[in-house]
Amino acid sequence: MGIFSRSINILIFPKKEWIKIAAENRSLTELILFYIIPLALIGAAASFIGYGYIGVDTGILDIRLKGTDWGLTRALNYFISIILSVVFSAYIIDACAVFTGAEKNIYRTAQLLAYSMTAFMIGELFYIIPQAGFMGILVGSYGIYLLYRGVDLLKKTSGRNSMIFIMMALFVFVVIYGLTNFVVGYMIAEIFGFGRFGEYGRFGF
């Protein structure tokens, strides 16, 4: 199934789409190459345009903060962080699955995490207008519902165990993404030499 159809269906018809996903046998590598990376590239492009060319209105003397270095920093940081976070989180979540009563199966864990991340990655599109970024957070939170709809089917859980698994998975991903985002951002700043946030670009009027 194409990435466009899969992303739309998982967002609109999650129950039916999870059934289709459960019948598939895609590895973590396949999910990263053919699903996570394409969606991450779209979000990264939105961030580059938003922070590089549209900028953030400070509300002071018509000053708008923007700059291609800031846009590049934001785009690269997001792109690399989301990929690494999905990989690391999938293995950690799967390793901890037995403590939540869920089935230990890295392929199913990878599917559950990758497709639940759809809302989060689609939400990154809002950063094409940086000050609308809060909408991206709201859209991304829909991923919790996607996780809820798929966990029983893919991880063989039910009831209380499902909620324990969901909380554990969310905690792991949030921590891993936060750490990865910080470390990758620091490394990018060091490599390109333009500060942790691209020195906020330059003033634009």
* 3-state secondary structure (DSSP) of residue 141: coil
Query: Is 90 exceeded by the pLDDT of residue 55?
Result: no
Higher pLDDT, 178 or 25: 178
Mean pLDDT, all residues of the chain? 87
- Amino acid residing at 118: T
- CA 25 to each of CA 8, 10, 51, 106, 123: distance values in angstroms, whole numbers, following the listed order: 20, 17, 38, 11, 27
Q: What would the mean pLDDT of 84-103 be, rounded to a whole number?
A: 93
**Rg of the chain (C-alpha set):** 18
* 3-state secondary structure (DSSP) of residue 106: helix
Higher pLDDT, 21 or 68: 21
Tokens 């997001």 correspond to 78
> Is residue 67 very low, low, confident or very high in pLDDT (cuts 50, 70, 90)?
confident
Residue 56 — φ and ψ, nearest 5°?
-115, 125
Contact yes or no for 166/155 (Cβ under 8 A): no
pLDDT of residue 194: 59
Query: Is 70 exceeded by the pLDDT of residue 63?
Result: no
Q: What is the pLDDT of residues 154-184, one digit of tens each?
A: 998 888 899 999 999 999 999 999 999 999 9
Contact yes or no for 100/157 (Cβ under 8 A): yes
Query: Is 50 exceeded by the pLDDT of residue 201?
Result: no
What the block records as the tokens of 199 is 């020195």
